[in-house]
Structure 1
């Protein structure tokens, strides 16, 4: 395929003009109370430019030369902050809000320097936490601008599935990942989401409206509950409240537009001074690229669109002092795909569906919220978010009956199976609506200590209908009647109060302690009244730090599993009547133990070592002896249909992780991460096995170099990924033919392993700055070597009578875009 003609821009000559500049502005606040700090000094390190924050904590530095800059912020009594890799573009103002941490020593002669790059925004986290920026999501090769795919580069995380952005954290199921936005939990924020999963093929979230956010991989602070694997804690930024700005982009993942700016030059009243808006919309282009021959992984062309808006209204007191803000925001997306196997060739690759039926699938997800923030005083901060969210999955399947020859084998003509008939076999619709209230108060008790107390409340309404029919007998083309596996309309609540306390015992030793509680009103077994969290961090000489943390965590099961009706095996009827047996299933629980060593190597490099042990218990497994465990679910395009579940399963994960990172300076950066781990589980048959996700190792190496010119810059980056393969087992042929899908023999489950996963990506982007305009042309060459990585085994009857088909992941895929900011 020819590369887009836009890349001819790489060959254009570079003209010398007067240097382009842009404004850098923002606010400086206390990191605990969010109260504005007066008199903070903001400096551009490599320029003779700077300013001082005013009574509202605001600062402005005009005429900053475009490019990457380093910013230092200082204030007597607070730790210095050094922020490198701040991007200044001609096409939009750079708004940089900075939070300063109060120093234990209050003497003006004492300065404690804090290198903030990569450090989590959440001060209660002492281990297994990292802040990520919008620039990182764009910069990392192979990340496609998505937070989840970007996070797969971090130590302890693997995402070796080209068809989905699921992330496996320390051997845990992706189902255990919690997504939060503005402090509230949200449904799976991906297009084509399946119930009980946290990932999907394409993210609904656009990184351009995110602020710097946190990612956690273990021993989470007390405010995070209902998760045993990891947390994405996403924050939204406000639109520019002084200047209207626009972004238009065309690329492989869609055509999109974004606008932001002030609601009015002069708002009606002081309470709305500086109000802003921001909105975006994206529409998929995959149909166009499929027509020109670009391999998108399947002959079925997915269609999707998503959008976002945020209105922010700063509040002030009668005297004009800042008094917090009110923000109204919403995001959502809809996606549809029709996988028409009846119209495909016999050897077509189809990594998104089954090979024996036509499938019609639609999913929708949305969340809207109202957030109120207020710095009550110089010591106290209050934030409350009220939100409503929902997700819907709607599917219909028509089973494909093929004409067969005298030997019973399917007939193939012109590379296609000859279709005898299509008959409806499945119809289901799941809908979940969630009403959420999240509120907390952060209070500083002097310079050493902070107390955070909050409550997260979710009220669920789950409605579901699922009807299916099977063959009778299994070898016949005659169907049984329709069976209803789900028929529910239920309302229940999830309550999570918590308290966290952080104190600096000395200038070098910090203690964090907290309690979380979880109460699910669906059944009496789903409560965890005391979940302790404890962490210690000790600063050593030569910019070294030792940290340890321990915590008890619990998680409810995917909503739909509580209401699945299992066959009544005691009945003599065929098919057996269905009964609801899993409503009383309890919480999965886990103890996390983590120790870390962190050292800064010079000004712009760090080494991080972490080791951990995780003990999982109360894991749902089947009541009858089998190898099934909920620890193996949550990473596929299909739901699970277990028998009656009981909380008697266990699991354990342990490992060691290495991160060597050179922050972006001197026009280049690199990130090297490695993990060695082991993840095992035990089902109701009392046998220890590898989990599906026990790859044993994961390695990532990323590098990027920027070549600056007078008014433009060329960035070249590369990434290599290597992980151990997923586990599986010998196929149970009789059960697979009976169920028309691959079924692995229970006794030998996960005794075999796919070949290791390998991928090499290259990313090139070229940025052109003009007066009040920035063009960006980029291409991400995913799997540039075209390595064939095995994805899964699928059920696909062949003319020779076999039915096991190996499905491979994406081959070489160029993901490109052209963007203009103005």
Structure 2
């Protein structure tokens, strides 16, 4: 770590020695209709807040180029018959042109003076059917905000209604389990896109495989989602990759304490604006090994992502995108008997994981009065977890403890047709078919050294969805979105019909209110369906999907273009939740129980009620901030019995994030950005331990297996980020320091049996993750 720090320090001092003034750079962009994605020709794009007015007009294909000095800008896009759009926080560096996609909404009515206000781009999601419980998440914020760590999931934990931990980026949305979150990439459901996924918690991981170098802005939804989202119970990450530059070649290299990152993009042909974009990352975490827990020693991971774009092909566009990762981790058993405090010290483990997803999509525009757009995509996704655990005997010999082989490959076919029946009515109807192939082999040792098969199954199944969304502009002030999703899961032979509804009303120029409803469902991890009975036959193939009703109310006030205040009360009723027949555990509380082998019943229920509050100040005059708080109650029951706390019922979560950007020297040439975030989490519910029974059985036994009737103290966690940017002609240098858990909070990881001093220990670890990095772009 010392050598890495010295090398980065040398590079930092080296770039400071240059005083040459940075040259201009360019903003490349395209303007499209928000509903149909048709390019808008001759739209006006103006740079706001400058002494000298810069502007441009989009060409016949909607493209425009602006040449500007480096710095941070706000742009305004306007066109007759469309609502004005303000694009904020547009960062322009000397090495790279900035790529923008501006989506404009048609105005079906003549807006009166009370309603004339431009649409702030940061307040509007990319999915136009989403009216509430959603927000746009930018990769620039993931890089700038403390605690973001270039990770969409960790950044989302700063938003209202979301809680998370330091040791994993699995997020609980409004009291729901992380495994109920849907990850969408370019419209395709993909496996958990995190390194070391599903090991500590289903639905989470350690670090994201989504590089901020290639990711576009992301929609994050927390409830009452539109009908185009199926197989999602708590929320959605709707991800997409940006398009590479079609004018110039751009490259960047970043090295830091947690690894090496390289990216490249540029034109594939100048005539049709084709482009490529690729990023590769490799890490051993070698520089920060001393700060990690022992079981993280020897961790290695790598990932790659790419996007190839071929526009203007017979009024259509073809894109080929892909994402892949590979991980290796493990731990060695402690052979010194004086240091074998816990059973975990005796374990030796090796884990190999991989994930990939790729798709080819075709976007076709049709001439005609309906302005139809056909989107068709064929994709595949795969994931593999291969884990072996052994344990030391008293003679220091290794014997098998458990094995996991979870291998899945999916083939996706997706097609949707968007039609504008009138200026007041837009519809999107689509079909999604997912062929699920699986190879599952899980075994656990009931008798020491003898593995007993829990799951052993190969085969395939199908998950199919038909949906339709309609958006009606009822007046200049009100919008009504309706939808329905029909889903069929062949494995359980279950059909679900899920209605969706959202309404929004503009009370005044700065105030908007609305409500939304949706019924949602999600399948469980596949291995639970194939857990074996005493005859070796799957006992849960007919398990129903867990379901939920979401009801959300929304109130937004924008006192100025730089501020947003939002209040969202919500209620969720979960039903058909799987419950274990013997131990009576609800799947709402299941985190990583790979070897659970019981008959499952759909007799569980859940209830989440709460209110989310947000005050956000967008970056203006160098200052920005975010305050969020959530008060909620998350309960579960079994067979309509007593309501009990779920393990995610923290009751309150609060975040305060403050940042300041300083410009040094000539405008835009050097800048420093400092950001701090503090998170207050309510006390985590935990189960009470039966100390006598645990000592007698040599394993942790809880007084009541299914009840979380004790609670930890509230926790205070701090994160810090600092970025230093230097622009030189055609080259940009960036030095960053990002620290998760800068205060060293010791996170609760469970209870352990102390083998040397017999008793029950509360096991905690202070996981501090620093990343000092240097990046050069050219």
- Structure 1 length as normaliser, TM-score? 0.89
- Once the two structures are superposed, the pairs formed by residues 146-545 of structure 1 within 5 Å of their partners are 146-159=151-164, 161-194=165-198, 197-265=202-270, 273-290=272-289, 293-295=290-292, 298=295, 300-317=297-314, 323-342=315-334, 354-377=344-367, 379-402=371-394, 420-471=396-447, 479=449, 481-524=450-493, 526-528=494-496, 530-545=497-512
Report if the CA contact (8 A) 2:195-2:327 is conserved: yes
- Once the two structures are superposed, the pairs formed by residues 494-643 of structure 1 within 5 Å of their partners are 494-524=463-493, 526-528=494-496, 530-566=497-533, 568=534, 578-624=536-582, 626-634=583-591, 636=592, 638-643=593-598
Distance 1:130 1:431 in 2: 34
Distance 2:696 2:458 in 1: 31
SS at match of 1:227: coil
Q: Identify unmatched segments of 5+ residues in structure 1.
A: 267-272, 318-322, 403-418, 472-477, 569-576
Report if the CA contact (8 A) 1:662-1:671 is conserved: yes
Distance 1:179 1:277 in 2: 24
Task: Give per-residue Cα distances to partners, 1:491-529, cap 9 Å, x unaligned.
Answer: 1100111001101101001100000111001123x220x
SS at match of 1:263: strand
1:724 matched residue in structure 2: 682
SS at match of 1:502: strand
Distance 1:713 1:344 in 2: 52
| Distance apart, 1:745 and its partner CA | 2.8
Distance 2:622 2:601 in 1: 55
Question: RMSD of the TM alignment (CA)?
Answer: 2.4
Distance 2:734 2:340 in 1: 36
SS at match of 2:265: strand
Distance 2:339 2:273 in 1: 59
Given the alignment, which residue of 642, 646, 668 partners 2:623?
Answer: 668
Which has the higher mean CA deviation after the structures are superposed, 747-756 or 122-131?
A: 747-756
| Distance apart, 1:129 and its partner CA | 0.6
Given the alignment, which residue of 62, 69, 76 partners 2:73?
Answer: 69
2:740 matched residue in structure 1: 782
Q: 1:78 to 1:703 in 2, by over 3 A?
A: same
Q: 1:484 to 1:790 in 2, by over 3 A?
A: closer
Distance 1:739 1:555 in 2: 37
SS at match of 2:301: strand
1:572 matched residue in structure 2: none
SS at match of 1:565: coil
Q: 1:296 to 1:774 in 2, by over 3 A?
A: farther
Given the alignment, which residue of 21, 26, 30 partners 1:23?
Answer: 26
- Structure 2 length as normaliser, TM-score? 0.94
1:742 matched residue in structure 2: 700
Task: Give per-residue Cα distances to partners, 1:643-682, cap 9 Å, x unaligned.
Answer: 2111111010000010000011111110000000000001
Distance 2:485 2:111 in 1: 37
Q: 1:745 to 1:71 in 2, by over 3 A?
A: same
Report if the CA contact (8 A) 1:25-1:61 is conserved: yes
Distance 2:340 2:297 in 1: 10
Which has the higher mean CA deviation after the structures are superposed, 586-595 or 25-34?
A: 25-34
Distance 2:283 2:728 in 1: 29
Report if the CA contact (8 A) 2:340-2:346 is conserved: no
- How many pairs align? 766
SS at match of 1:621: strand
1:103 matched residue in structure 2: 107
Report if the CA contact (8 A) 2:324-2:356 is conserved: yes
Q: Identify unmatched segments of 5+ residues in structure 2.
A: none
| Distance apart, 1:623 and its partner CA | 2.5
1:762 matched residue in structure 2: 720
Q: 1:805 to 1:390 in 2, by over 3 A?
A: farther
Distance 2:708 2:105 in 1: 49
| In the alignment, structure 1 residue 700 sits paired with structure 2 residue 692 | no
